[in-house]
Amino acid sequence: MLTIHSSSPPRGEAPLLGYNLISAPGLREPTLTQHKPTEDNMSEFANALQTGHPNARRGWTLPMIGAVGLALLLGGCGKTETKSIQEEAAMAQRLQRVGTVELQVAVAGGEPKTGEQAFQAQCAACHAAGALGAPKFGDAAAWAPRIGAGLAALTNSALKGKNAMPAQAGGALSDLEISRAAAYMANAGGAKFSEPKAE
């Protein structure tokens, strides 16, 4: 029989104390013999606490965790570092300096350089030896097609750059001095250009 108090419980008592569930139909009071743990239950419970699985065997847990951890450690060991070192080396190679840019302040005043002076200052490094496909100073066969194009075309190629020759405009020499150097080199190859005059 279930007894429920309709009024509030007396002061100091919890509200559920008024319920008598033990006398409810179909409910029995548990006895110690019904819930007494057996040796097998205790062993299974201990295994479950140790391994996380009630039917697991005791001796395999720690070695299995160790083997998996070791495999993960050795499997990834060094690959990330090696890859990043190789990537950094490849990037450094790609970013390696190809050339340099030198900005120089032009000195105002004074006479412009002659063709020979400009050649010695700027052009001789490549044209004296014919380096990097540059027409060699004094080689009439190499200079003939360039001479045929005219002094204006030669000067334009020197100022803007052509093939392996970098642009000479904006450097230490003025455009007039570059034009004089072009005339000087072409004349050494058989041309009859007069040295450009200052305006």
Q: What is the pLDDT of residues 23-69, one digit of tens each?
A: 555 555 555 455 556 677 677 767 666 666 655 555 666 677 778 88
Q: What is the pLDDT of residues 173-189, one digit of tens each?
A: 999 999 999 999 999 99
Q: Which residues contact 158 (CB under 8 A, 6 or more apart)?
A: 165, 168, 178, 179, 181, 182
122: in domain: yes
Instruction: Write out the residue range of the structural domain in which residue 159 sits.
Output: 115-188
Task: Identify the residue with better confidence: 14 or 101.
Answer: 101
Please give the single-letter amino acid code of residue 15. Answer: P
167: in domain: yes
Rounded Cα distance between 151 and 146, Å, is 8
Give all strands (DSSP E) within 13-169, no chain letters.
Answer: none
Task: Identify the residue with better confidence: 133 or 9.
Answer: 133
Mean pLDDT of the chain: 76
Mean pLDDT of 60-89: 72
Residue 121 and residue 63 share a domain: no
Whose tokens are 């419980």? That residue is 9
Write down the pLDDT at residue 113: 93
49: in domain: yes
Rounded Cα distance between 37 and 42, Å, is 7
Write down the pLDDT at residue 90: 84
19: in domain: no
149: in domain: yes
48: in domain: yes
The count of structural domains within the chain is 2
Residue 125 and residue 67 share a domain: no
Are 5 and 16 in contact by the 8 Å Cβ rule? The answer is no
Rounded Cα distance between 189 and 141, Å, is 8
Rounded Cα distance between 103 and 147, Å, is 31
Rounded Cα distance between 55 and 47, Å, is 7
Residue 126 and residue 65 share a domain: no
**H-type helices in 128-196, by residue range?**
140-149, 151-160, 175-188
Per-residue pLDDT band at 17 (split at 50, 70, 90): very low
- The least confident of 62-71, 79-88, 113-122 is 79-88
Q: Assign residue 137 the CATH number of its domain.
A: 1.10.760.10
